[in-house]
């Protein structure tokens, strides 16, 4: 797929013929220098933005061609999102935030799914607290639970540990890892941090809007070396 922003002198090719597949029950990290197209790729594959050219499929469903209502429903029912800034609703409790996507769809939480997610995030005694009464790491765990509660086909996490200290970061990354290993979900995460990428099965490297490399079973040194070489090329 290709994504072009702007016209004439302001024209930017943010994604240049990127062809990528995210396999189910796999944890993929997307890395690359600043401005390489990571967020654009994630927004296009998550149906938050449309490519200028090319197609996106979630499961067997083509996103191109869906009207706004169908796209909103698909995002709500089949995709989970985790953002850097948590994006919880401040007036709702942790539990109400977690179940919000189901409420919006008029569905009730599956008790077994809810129980296993609550156990995995380890916040049973905080469920009636509001976000302002929780630490950043705890808020992000609530956001992860909210992303998982609908049992989505894929969870997209955009710099999920960008605002967290290293202890909270490892809690979140372990939870995302567990989402794949124990809950059979598919996770796609944009990150700047080589350590975060080591939790993934596969790392994709973008540079200048192109997919330039990928790495399986990544190590922190391997990822760091690759990032250094990409950043040098960009200078
Ligand atoms: N809405 C927009 N309008 C015009 N140009 C944009 C827009 N969004 C992104 N771009 C440009 O597209 C390119 C890719 O941006 P993108 O945000 O996808 O990169 P990124 O790899 O996520 O960067 P970062 O790591 O800094 O968040 C950049 O050159 C950026 O300036």
Q: What is the pLDDT along the chain (235 residues), one digit of tens a residue?
A: 999 999 999 999 999 999 999 999 999 999 999 999 999 999 999 999 999 999 999 988 999 889 999 999 999 989 999 999 999 999 999 999 999 999 998 999 999 999 999 999 999 999 999 999 999 999 999 999 999 999 999 999 999 999 999 999 999 999 999 999 999 999 999 999 999 999 999 999 999 999 999 999 999 999 999 999 998 865 5
* pTM of this structure: 0.94
pLDDT at residue 65 in the model: 83
Which of 2, 12, 33 has the most ligand 1 atoms within 8 A of CB, as the residue to mutate? 12
Give the whole-angstrom CA distance, residue 213 versus residue 20.
11
What is d(CA 123, CA 79) in angstroms, rounded to the nearest whole number?
A: 23
Q: What pLDDT does 195 receive?
A: 95
37 CA closest ligand 1 atom index: 18
What is the CATH number that goes with domain 3-88+135-142+152-234? 3.40.50.300
What is the structure's pLDDT at 60?
A: 86
Buried b / exposed e along 107-135 (16+ C-beta atoms within 10 A): eebeeeebeebbebbebeebbebbbeebe
**Cβ 97 vs Cβ 89: under 8 Å:** yes
Q: Residue 5 corresponds to which tokens in the numbers above?
A: 């922003």
Best residue for ligand 1 mutational test, from 3, 4, 5 (most atoms within 8 Å of Cβ): 5
Q: Establish whether residue 5 lines the binding site of ligand 1, counting it when its CB lies within 6 angstroms of any ligand atom.
A: yes
Contact 47, 79 (CB under 8 A): yes
Q: What is the pLDDT of residue 221?
A: 96
Sign of CA dihedral 139, 143, 148, 154: negative
> What is the model's pLDDT at position 207?
96
Ligand 1 pocket member 32 (CB < 6 A): yes
CA atoms of 217 and 17, how far apart (whole Å)? 26
């Amino acid at each position: 797929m290709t994504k072009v922003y702007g016209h004439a002198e302001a024209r930017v090719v943010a994604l240049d013929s990127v062809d990528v597949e995210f396999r189910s029950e796999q944890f993929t990290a997307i890395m690359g220098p600043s401005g390489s197209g990571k967020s654009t790729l994630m927004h296009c594959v998550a149906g938050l933005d449309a490519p200028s050219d090319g197609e996106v499929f979630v499961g067997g469903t083509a996103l191109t061609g869906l009207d706004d209502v169908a796209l909103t429903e698909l995002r709500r029912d089949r995709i989970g999102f985790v953002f850097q800034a948590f994006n919880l609703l401040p007036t709702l409790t942790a539990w109400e935030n977690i179940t919000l996507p189901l409420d919006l769809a008029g569905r009730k939480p599956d008790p077994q799914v809810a129980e296993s997610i609550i156990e995995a995030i380890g916040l049973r005694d905080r469920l009636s607290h509001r976000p302002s009464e929780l630490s950043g790491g705890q808020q992000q765990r609530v956001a992860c639970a909210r992303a998982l509660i609908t049992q989505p086909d894929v969870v997209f996490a955009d710099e999920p540990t960008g605002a967290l200290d290293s202890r909270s970061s490892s809690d979140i990354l372990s939870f995302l890892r567990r989402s794949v290993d124990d809950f059979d979900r598919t996770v796609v995460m944009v990150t700047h941090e080589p350590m975060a990428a080591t939790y993934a099965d596969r790392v994709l490297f973008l540079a200048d809007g192109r997919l330039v490399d990928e790495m399986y079973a990544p190590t922190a040194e391997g990822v760091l070396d690759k990032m250094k070489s990409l950043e040098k090329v960009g200078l």
